[in-house]
Structure 1
Amino acid sequence: MQVIKTNHPVVQVKDVILGEGMPKICLPVVGKTEEEILQTVEHYESLSNWDILEVRLDYYEGLAFGDSVELLGKIRHETTRPILATIRTRQEGGEVDLDDDHYSLALTSIITSHTADLVDIEASHSHGVVLSLCDLCEEHDVVSIISSHNFEETPSNDDMREMLSTMHVLGGDILKLAVMPHDRIDVMRLMKVTTEMSQRINRPLITMSMGDLGKISRISGEITGSVMTFGTAGKASAPGQIALDELYQFLKELHCD
């Protein structure tokens, strides 16, 4: 990881600079078997105009057997793009139930193996776990993304500001907030808070308002200060994700030189 000194916070991972230019496009892999995952990666590699590969290990049937590091190592040989490793637990909208100890153990093995360039760390785990994982990422030159997901609602503006501030204190290199809107006002509130906090917090932000209603938040990051957006080139990992070709065209049209 390289943190670049500019007038706004950016993080460089390989040749991808998060926080500079258009929001970077991340494609998630949500396969269950090693074969399915590697085939998806091969397919993604035939496509253009995307930047980061997210491996959703909570979908992977080998997670329970400790096979994640081996899988990520094989993916390393298939792509030169930065790899984001994510284990999304059910309390954050994912596919697995893991207590703090097992969650920490699984991510520790990934971080220390250097098989991922970025690691998602859920803010809903104990502050001690989050702090120790962020410290471990720094020690091993892995980018930490502290994330929070609310699939029920869009919290108040103050609550969203407080969540981002707490994640900042916990030490994440990048802070991610995803919320569910009930109306257009919720979408605008998320975008407003993103704009405010991107100026206030010295960390790159990734934010999104989920579902069809929130799609505008996935393409407006260059204006609001959200540095990455998630697209699809197959199975989506969250509601409201936009197909890769469409997403790239939207970002390109909105790009400010």
Structure 2
Amino acid sequence: MPKIAIPLTGERLPALYEELEYVRALPADLLEWRADYYLGNLLEVPSLLRENVGEKPLLCTVRTRKEGGQAALTPEEYEAAVTALIGTGKFDLVDLELSCGQERLLRLLRLAHEGEMAVVISKHDFEKTPPEHEIFCTLLEMERLGAELPKYAVMPQNVRDVLALLSATERASREFGPVVTMSMGALGKISRASGAYFGSCITFAAGKNASAPGQISAEDLKAVLQDLDPAR
């Protein structure tokens, strides 16, 4: 089954403590810290997270506004923030945005790999779903740049868009390995539960708060994944 990732979106330490307590009872395989939501000093958080999640994998994400996040950062500020967070050594995975530029992306990717972190290279389209071949080629580009997990999230306008995303996902996972994809919004919810069939290996579920449109609650998503598990 796909692994369930739950985002942490608290704006201050008390809210993060509350979220961490809330997700303890949820079926999370890994946790994603959405650092772009945090309004304080980013470097005060990593140690706190690691102390509270134990051995559970931690994904660090600084999502910029152009990719649907909260961080209004220049490319230089984005690189500085991600570099500092990689340097804490508290995370198992880091999300790097494809749109930050290839030279910057490769510098960050090298730093992450030197720190023995797995890299998610991501791209988000909150307006549309590109053609199937374009989705596949983008995932392939991410893999060739060095991502352990290429990630692509799109917004569907109709059922054909969802099918395009799923078909590109199946081809990518079959031809070069694990990917993470999702079709967002209500129309795309099926993509969040179908990874076992089409090859998306991580699915993002809502904990105390959702971080993207169409996220299903973690408990509901776990039940659906178990029901759909082809190994059962």
**Band the TM-score falls in, shorter-chain normalisation:** over 0.9
Specify which of 89, 107, 115 is matched with residue 114 of structure 1.
89
Q: Which runs of structure 2 are paired with 1:92-241 in the superposition (5 Å)?
A: 92-202=67-177, 204-241=178-215
Give distance in 1, aligned partners of 2:43 and 2:229. 37
Contact 1:69 1:115 in 2 (8 A): no
Runs of 4 or more, structure 1, over 4 Å off, are none
Offset of 1:48 from its aligned partner?
Answer: 3.7
Give distance in 2, aligned partners of 1:232 and 1:126. 30
Give distance in 2, aligned partners of 1:129 and 1:38. 33
Specify which of 208, 217, 225 is matched with residue 243 of structure 1.
217
SS in structure 2 opposite 1:105? helix
Offset of 1:161 from its aligned partner?
Answer: 1.6
Q: Does 1:38 align with 2:17?
A: yes
Q: Does 1:49 align with 2:27?
A: yes
Offset of 1:245 from its aligned partner?
Answer: 1.2
SS in structure 1 opposite 2:166? helix
Matched residue type, 1:197: A
Give distance in 1, aligned partners of 2:37 and 2:85. 16
Give distance in 2, aligned partners of 1:123 and 1:201. 18
Superposed CA RMSD in Å reads 1.0
1:12 alignment counterpart? none
Give distance in 2, aligned partners of 1:42 and 1:242. 19
Structure with higher strand content? 1
SS in structure 1 opposite 2:191? helix
Matched residue type, 2:191: S
Give distance in 2, aligned partners of 1:85 and 1:69. 12
Offset of 1:113 from its aligned partner?
Answer: 1.3
Matched residue type, 1:73: S
Give distance in 1, aligned partners of 2:106 and 2:142. 10
Contact 2:22 2:208 in 1 (8 A): no
> Which 5+ residue runs of structure 2 have no aligned equivalent?
none
Q: Which runs of structure 2 are paired with 1:23-102 in the superposition (5 Å)?
A: 23-45=2-24, 47-62=25-40, 67-80=41-54, 81-102=56-77
Contact 1:208 1:217 in 2 (8 A): yes
Give distance in 1, aligned partners of 2:124 and 2:162. 15
Matched residue type, 2:88: S
Give distance in 1, aligned partners of 2:228 and 2:169. 17
Contact 1:149 1:179 in 2 (8 A): yes
Matched residue type, 2:142: M
TM-score (norm 1): 0.87
TM-score (norm 2): 0.96
Give distance in 2, aligned partners of 1:121 and 1:69. 18
> Which 5+ residue runs of structure 1 have no aligned equivalent?
1-21
Matched residue type, 2:36: D
How many residues matched? Answer: 230
* Aligned-residue identity in percent: 39
**Superposed CA offset, 1:148-177 (max 9, x none):** 000000001121122112111211111100
Offset of 1:69 from its aligned partner?
Answer: 2.4
